[in-house]
Structure 1
Amino acid sequence: MDHTNPNSFRFAPLRRAAYRLSVTQAGQLPADDGAEVAIAGRSNVGKSSTLNMLTERRALARVSRTPGRTQAINIFDLDPGQRLVDLPGYGYAKVPEALRRSWGPLLEQYLRRRGSLRGLILVMDIRHPYTAHDADLIAFAEGCSRPVHVLLNKADKLSRGAAIQEMARLRRIPELQGVAMQLFSAQSGLGIDELHERIARWFSADSEKETPAGAGANSEFSKGGENS
């Protein structure tokens, strides 16, 4: 698919994305009002490239050959009351242990308590998808009643048939049944329209998403994810 096609759907506020701040503690997050969509993923799956493709900004999120570079929650403002949130990459062993230990609790608190969070985009490398860390994050997000949309990134590295077969295999995994997913490529633009449409639906929801009291209280992403 040609992502430059003028007839392609684009959620216009994404083009106006502007960096606001980076936080390493939940108390540093901006006021919990309006609406935001978060993007997460294991280190080195192309999360930064996905953000850049999504916003049509080549350097909005820094792309590095060193996995684990995203070491904080990065907030980007869109239109007033709308935010895009880049969560820390997880699962890379060479990141300092103290830093990795801090990510689990921060992500757990963000996913559990953030009332303005409308949905979570989870980026996976289709060639190495659904690791234990991915499974932990999906289970925790679902325990917090957070919608998850999986991007099977780097689908351009496989033939069309092989990519479709791999997505079908993942959809048969019991824990992934009912989880939205799509083929995607941050390099070629494959699937970019579908992703824009998903984000537009989340932001255009008629009412604010409220986190149920105690949602996810029995989930342990910080234990089963970064600290496993």
Structure 2
Amino acid sequence: MQTIKYDSAEFFTSAQKYSQCPSDIGSEVAFAGRSNAGKSSSMNALTRNSKLARTSKTPGRTQLLNFFTLSGGDFRLVDLPGYGFAKVNRSMKADWEENIGEYLAERVSLKGVVLVMDIRHPMTDFDQRMVEWAVQAEMPMRILLTKSDKLKKGPAKNTYLKINNELRSRAPWLSAQLFSSLKKEGVDQLSQWLTEQLTEELE
């Protein structure tokens, strides 16, 4: 398997609309999730760069599709706008959801999606819609159960097993893992899964 250095990630460009996305070539994996689920922190932990993806205590700061390049090939990570926005008007929210939908439906270079959930509040309505989309689209999806350090090991493992079993029963290309940005737990597992998706057609 080809090696990808995730600490090489660099900001490439942002797109407010799908038509502004960079050329649809190579391979990319997108990160999606609620605004307060720890998406930016997860990307920063993965890339060992605390400033790569913006983190904020104000939900909804990621309002654009942000593309990051990785060295060693035409590989990218994509930070999708967070959903569950707290303080935005309806028309802006509708625009973002339309752009995410168009990106997910049309993007040929999209090889997988990382769906970020707070382990204490997993499988919200929008999470369920994203999982159902991945089932229908046959899109590899990895669910990150973030902030796993907030629970004791027993309850955290039980939540993981329940969700992972549910996902596997729905489609073999769905899976879950525990993740803690604070303690850097689960980073190696995530890196391995990402590399598998990004390099699959190169094998």
- TM-score normalised by structure 2 residue count: 0.91
What is the DSSP-based 3-state SS (H/G/I as helix, E as strand, rest coil) of the residue aligned with 1:95? Answer: coil
Please give the residue correspondences for 1:40-189 in structure 2 after superposition, counting only pairs within 5 Å: 40-79=32-71, 80-173=73-166, 177-178=170-171, 179-189=174-184
Structure with max Cα Rg: 1
Any conservation in 2 of the 1:111–1:144 contact (CA below 8 Å)? no
Distance 1:65 1:93, change over 3 A: closer
Q: Give the distance between the partners of 1:62 and 1:160, measured in 2 at CA.
A: 29
2:24 to 32, 38, 48: 32
In structure 2, stretches of 5+ residues that fail to align are none
Alignment length (residue pairs): 198
> RCO (CA 8 Å, sep 6+): is it higher in 1 or 2?
1
Q: Post-superposition shift, 1:37?
A: 0.8
Q: Post-superposition shift, 1:175?
A: 8.7
Please give the residue correspondences for 1:187-202 in structure 2 after superposition, counting only pairs within 5 Å: 187-202=182-197
Distance 1:91 1:152, change over 3 A: same
Q: Give the distance between the partners of 1:91 and 1:141, measured in 2 at CA.
A: 19
Q: Give the distance between the partners of 1:95 and 1:185, measured in 2 at CA.
A: 29
Q: Post-superposition shift, 1:137?
A: 1.3
User: How well do the aligned residues superpose, as a CA RMSD in angstroms?
Assistant: 1.8
Aligned-residue identity in percent: 41
- TM-score normalised by structure 1 residue count: 0.82
Pairing 1:15–2:7 present: yes
Runs ≥4 residues deviating over 3 A: 171-178
